Amino acid sequence: MDNAVFQRCREKLGKTQKELAQILCTSLKSVHGYEQGWRKIPAHIQRLLMFLVMRKQFGRRKLKPCWEINHCPAKLRERCPANEFKAGDLCWFISGTLCDCSPHESWEAKIAICWRCKAFARIRKQLEAD
């Protein structure tokens, strides 16, 4: 997530920098630094911000699960945490998913795969839109 996406997310949530800092349990200075591109946005901040944008946009309505969108084979799906925790709409949020048939080494590696995924497109659209 870059600084422009971070700022768009804050704006989509309708929050000031101070309000977002409180929600994210971080400092106002950190939020300002993320938006200006002076600070790297930590993985836990990215995940929480993306979660909040998704919930604001889609609420709690049931979205088509990732394994249906991506036509995951049953054997792979059985081992995937997204399926285990019945979180096919939050697959991007859960570490250890098997989107490319193996767990990911880091948040950066995982989100890079998610960013290209058809199931993540609905969230990506919200993150990229002005």
- pLDDT tens-digit series, residues 19-70: 999 999 999 999 999 999 999 999 999 999 999 998 888 777 778 899 999 8
CATH of 1-58, one of 3.90.1150.10, 1.10.10.10, 1.10.260.40, 3.30.110.40: 1.10.260.40
Domain boundaries, the chain: 1-58, 62-130
Q: Which two tokens stand for residue 106?
A: 């880091």
Per-residue confidence band for 130, with pLDDT thresholds at 50, 70 and 90: low
How much is the pTM? 0.79
Q: What are the distances in angstroms from CA 91 to CA 10, 39, 71, 76?
A: 22, 27, 14, 14
